[in-house]
Structure 1
Amino acid sequence: MNETMRPSDDDALSGELRALRASTPFPVLFAGSVVSQRLLLSGFAGTRSRTLRGLIIDTRCGLGGRAIAEQRPESAPDYFNSSHITHDYDAQVAGEGIESLLAVPVVVRGVTRAAIYGGLPRRRPIGDVMASALLASAHRLAREIEVRDEVDRRVLLIERARVEHGGPARGAAVSEAITESYLVLRDLADKVGDPAMVQTLRSVEHTLRSLTAPADVPARVALSPREFEVLSHVALGCRNAEIADRLSLSVETVKTYMRNLMAKLEVASRQQAVFEARRLGLLP
């Protein structure tokens, strides 16, 4: 996938830190992404110096390394006297006046992809209530990164299919893969809260939908978004009951959409609707 299509994960981390400043008791917050078993700190809120900026943390060292390796939150209410972590980064932590520290991993499909830290300027036990905002933030980030991974995966599958078929593909298997992919992306776009990510998902969905559209056929039929979704599921072989379940609609509502779109396409059956929609470039 083109790197410019995926919003920066570091930007997502920084956005979460900005939101956390208003909802957490930690005055110092920082975070970073995990690459090749190392954490690169890239997001900061409330820091007073540059000691943490650009710091690379080995996943075997420090409080963050322990959280990343064990994939669970780790806290040190008395950081400098803690005996269950290494102290490779004491100078950087001290530079921010931190006495108590919490590290929360962002785990996606069993792999730690990032970590969020919250620091206090005094020694204090860090319980579940205090940690709840960081835990919620880590969960949101995990979900967003998973969405971005799915976008990458879907687009890569389509790009591979195009290469294997020597250009715009019309094979039934490839058409089904494209249809399934943009339906997944549309569903993901409805579930994420980041406007930039939603825009990216919509853009990729549009790209997938246009991959096999014939350039020489004028668009004379306009389907509503719901009609398009219903017809796309029909193209995948779904029955009305299954479509209703996938789209959270009643079966009767699905039937209504089917009647409307069949009238627009001027056809008399589901199979004819799919054929005509593909001829017009509405479906791959």
Structure 2
Amino acid sequence: MDIVELKNVCFSYNKGTDEQIDAVKNLSLTVREGEFVALVGHNGSGKSTVAKLLNGLVLPDSGSVTVDGKSTDDKKDLFGIRSVLGVVFQNPDNQMVATIIEDDVAFGPENLGLKSGEIRQRVDWALKCVGMYDHREGTPHRLSGGQKQRVAIAGVLAIKPKVMVLDEATSMLDPIGRDEVIKVITRLNKEEKMTVIMITHFMNEAALADRIIVMNDGEILLDGGQEVFKEEEKIRKAGLRLPMPAEVASALNAKGLDLPRGLVTIQQLADELCRKE
């Protein structure tokens, strides 16, 4: 079942001026319930605009955006859409609204008008999901970047969305913090069956997804599973790098070693190298 649908969507910034930017051009895509999708592209490719379109922060100039059967064009549906689809943005500090961690996570459920007992249960569950329950009475400013982003994810989880969108949510983190967040997201998708749309320019992260959509200049360039990474020329043309194992394989091939394209994990690369011995 499709839970997200964009149909012939166009969106521009600075409309009607000499500096008009066509961020999204006649974009159509669907996301199935429970799917883990990576949306990748260089800066200005339109991928972050897609995140804003999905929860109604911006509305399409033409075309339609539907989430769980509700249209972002209908103001009456926006509350329902934002209860179903949660967005985690790039900078966790911009999403912190309280001075105590558990109060921050409770902000979303409180705005849904839930009873205090239900809010307590959701806050505890969300913090346990991201491994931050022991910090619940602490203050956000004492946390590392990775911990702050996990609290931001907990704040979205507490509304119990069907879809989580991560808009460059790991781009400001160090490798350890990035790994913390990715592990949480992968587990939520696999164990909680949550639909995940991860917007990123880190191709090693994208390789973890079930489906990879490559955007370029507001349009979809590639859409598929890990076989997408075999399209080395198109990926580089879009201003992106291949996952590290694929980059290593490509460099080795340039030296005369015949390795297959589309290697995306270190294990796959190691297995192929062992076969060459």
Rg (Cα) greater in structure: 1
Q: Does the pair score TM above 0.5?
A: no
- Higher RCO (Cα < 8 Å, 6 or more apart): 2
Higher percent of residues as helix:
1
Q: Give TM-score, length-normalised by structure 1.
A: 0.31
